[in-house]
Amino acid sequence: MKHRLGKRHLSVLMVLTLIDLICTIIWFEGYGVTELNPILSGPIEKSALKFSLIKLGLTVPSVRIIRAHISNTFAQVGGWLLLFSYAFVCFIHIKVFCHLFYGL
């Protein structure tokens, strides 16, 4: 059985992106946690809105391109890489949450 990236996976990817976006703003604004992505570290220091627009401006077109070429092997690999990357980032957000609120 092939494990092919599908449109549902891309929907999960967008949800993970939004979770990352919201958590990053909360951690940055409320707790002084730094943004580790060098492309987005400057914009978040200027404004949450600028950060959000750039983050979504990078992510949404990428997901749309992958969706348009979902049968292509390169798009499959790229989609899986993005999905696993954002899943890992969300795992880090959970760890930050546990550390900030529960000292774990």
pLDDT of residue 1: 43
Whole-prediction pTM value?
0.87
d(CA 79, CA 83): 6
- What are 57-102's pLDDT values in tens digits? 999 999 999 999 999 999 999 999 999 999 999 999 899 888 888 8
Query: What are the CA-CA distances from residue 23 to residues 59, 76, 79, 95 (Å)?
Result: 16, 27, 22, 12
How far apart are alpha carbons 35 and 25 in whole angstroms? 9
Non-local (6+) Cβ contacts of 78 within 8 A are 62, 66
The pLDDT of residue 99 is 85
Task: Give the contacts of 5 (CB within 8 A, at least 6 positions apart).
Answer: 66, 70, 75, 76, 79, 80, 83
